[in-house]
Chains A and B, each alone.
Chain A
Amino acid sequence: MIHFELVTLDGVKFKQSVYEVQLPTTEGVIGVFKDHSPLVAMAVPGVIKVRHKAGEPDDLQDFIATNGGVIEVGNDNVRVLVDEADLADEINEKEAEEAHKLALKLRSEAKDQTSLDHAQSLIDRSSVRLQVANLKRHRRHR
């Protein structure tokens, strides 16, 4: 088991002993188990997947939407430092979809580079949230 901690500006969002954590990094998705070699890596916007125990089916995993940050892996712990993280249960699918549409609209209306960048970051964020919301729906239907 490995200790997984998710640290955001609003405090510690997730703190549990788990079997495996899958993290999206600049070098691709990495899976972290116990006794991983110490590592500091960059997280990119994406979905963090948490498997609580060995052999747990994919649809029982916990999904967390993140907008990127820094990952710190020790021998028996993983700590992720991110600006924002949303647990699947905190995301409302309808709201996520609307936010995504709004972000797309903002991008199409953007006039200068600054507003384009802003819209793009909103899109990145909302699409990850939407992804997590969809994963959650699949989980519920089984």
Chain B
Amino acid sequence: MAQTTALKRRITSVKNTRQITKAMELVAASKMRRAQENALRSREYRNLARAILTRISELTDVTKHPLYAKRTIKTRLYIIVTSDRGLAGAYNSNLFRQLTTELQADQAQKIQSQVIAIGKQGAKFLARFKDVEVTAVYENFPDYPTANDIRPILNTIIESYTAKDVHTVDILYTDYKSSISQVVTSDRLLPAVFEAVPIPKDLEAAEFEPSAEVVLDNITERIIEVQLSQALLESKASEQSMRMMAMKNASDNAGEIIDDLTLAFNTARQAAITQELAEITGGAEAIK
């Protein structure tokens, strides 16, 4: 009897766990969809910004602008996009592995490394490194960041780049390829990358007010901003997708454990019944 009670308790507890993991799976799925939708929305913004930039490049030498200037790399700044919470499968550890490789490569070349961490997990991980300077940590960053949320990061990197404190800025994030494939990706934010795109007819003869240089300043910042926002949203979609998979596996495992325990419970109950019957018949035989 004691065995069946213990088994029953374990079954209830695993069932509770399954309920929680199942709920987390559903929440992650809906958050993932939203992040994906948001990632698509900024596409128009990026295309227009790029078209205007290409048009400017015809009027003035874009690469002369300080944000496009390539420098000898002595200090590298990384922005690493991690999650605040755990239970997201290999989401954070994949990023950490990549970052560690990059940091070691830098060390071998005597390049100093600085890191801006987004997400609590990243901050926790970086605390272990002694020779890496963590310049900023953003915890509880909004899931769907607006321009206002991104602005502080943008200003920080542009300031340290123009002040020549850092010589290159990379962002390390998880690119969302599909719901089964997410890849850790490193993108260069600064020096800014100039890609020529076809110019729409309207822009061909456009005049610039107050001047092409002023517009160039602004449009370059906007392109970096959209890159940042894109990386953050891709990361969010990946995180939720990986969390969804992890929770799905956990729910499946819990289901299997419940099956095994139920079988054990039934066997134990049957054994108890058989034993009781045997005792009764045994007792009856003895009285005869």
Contact = CB atoms under 8 A, between A and B. Distances in A.
Interface in A57-95: 67, 69-70, 72-75, 77, 79, 81, 83-84
Classify the interface of chain A: helix, strand, loop or mixed: strand
A42 B215 contact: yes
Interface of A: 7-12, 25-27, 37-42, 67, 69-70, 72-75, 77, 79, 81, 83-84
Nearest to B208: A40
Given A12-B44, A70-B52, A77-B202, A37 B219 contact: no
Interface stretch (B183-191, B222-230, B273-281): B222-230
Contact of A72 (B41, B52, B214): B52
A9 B218 CA distance: 15
A43 to B, nearest CB: 9
A27 B210 contact: yes
Contacts, number: 95
B44 A7 contact: yes
Given A38-B203, A74-B203, A8 B45 contact: yes
Interface string B9-48: 0000000000000000000000000000010011011001
A66 to B, nearest CB: 11
Contacts of A83: 147-148, 151, 222, 225
B207 interface: yes
Q: What interface size band does chain B fall in?
A: 20 to 34
Contacts of A27: 209-210
Given A42-B215, A72-B206, A9 B42 contact: yes
Contact of B222 (A70, A72, A73): A70
Interface in B198-251: 200-210, 214-215, 218-219, 222, 225-226, 229
Contacts of A38: 202-207
Of A9, A11, A40, chain B has the most CB atoms within 10 Å of the CB of A9
Contacts of B146: 9-10, 84
A12 B201 CA distance: 21
Nearest to A26: B210
A11 B44 contact: yes
B214 A7 contact: no
